[in-house]
Amino acid sequence: MKNYTETEMLNLYRNRLGLSRTLMLPAENERQPLDRELLDVLHARYRHLLATAPIEYLPVENLGPACTAQMLSNDRMSITLSDRCIRPVSLQLDTWEEAVYRFHEAGTNYHKRQRLSLLRGTRLNPAVFRSADRLIVYGVGTNLRVITPGYELRAVTEPVDGTFRLSEILLPQMLEP
């Protein structure tokens, strides 16, 4: 995993396109239109890679402390995702023995079946559903306590400082003309 500044990534891209390199990136309002367009393309490609590339080549962090959890019932909870969360990778609750790596789409038939107690996710076989900004977790396993259990939510994130952080394996996809 390597960090690239905007200037480094822009120079790599300009070099790939056969353009001259830039020594330093001026302030955003002083940039040339070509540099603005190239950076917009790079940022769009980076967001696409964060959403689709294999997880082992991307930055993954524990976003649990940045998210808000709320118990909806004794065996169901909602986790409001942080703005930095591009896509969740795993969820581990204190009440579970193993983490969940599969996040189902909210509103599907499988999600609707969670209303039936015999088909609902359990502590040993939880079910997690993702909507646009939250996770709905069935099978919390708090045994009739309405206390929110501790959790760790690992997710693909975009770096806070605006750099490009990715494996060098993905670099050709970022820089293709």
Beta bridge mates, 138: 76, 127
Q: How far apart are CA 95 and CA 171, in angstroms?
A: 40
Q: Residue 50: its pLDDT value, please?
A: 96
3-state secondary structure of 107: coil
pLDDT in tens, 48-60: 999 999 999 999 9
Residue type, 47: R
Q: Residue 25: its pLDDT value, please?
A: 60
Q: Residue 127, class by beta-carbon neighbours within 10 Å (0-12 exposed, 13-18 middle, 19+ buried)?
A: buried
CA-wise closest residue to 75 among 5, 119, 123: 123
Task: Produce one character per residue of 36-49: b if its CB has 16 or more CB atoms within 10 Å, e if not.
Answer: eebbeebeebbeeb
Q: Residue 27: its pLDDT value, please?
A: 60
Beta strands in the chain (DSSP E): 2-4, 60-62, 68-73, 76-80, 85-93, 104-105, 127-130, 134-138, 151-157, 164-166
pLDDT in tens, 75-97: 899 999 999 999 999 999 998 99
Evaluate if pTM is beyond 0.85: no
Residue numbers in the chain where pLDDT is lower than 50: none
Q: Residue 175: its pLDDT value, please?
A: 92
Q: Residue 165: its pLDDT value, please?
A: 94
Site of tokens 């079946």: 113
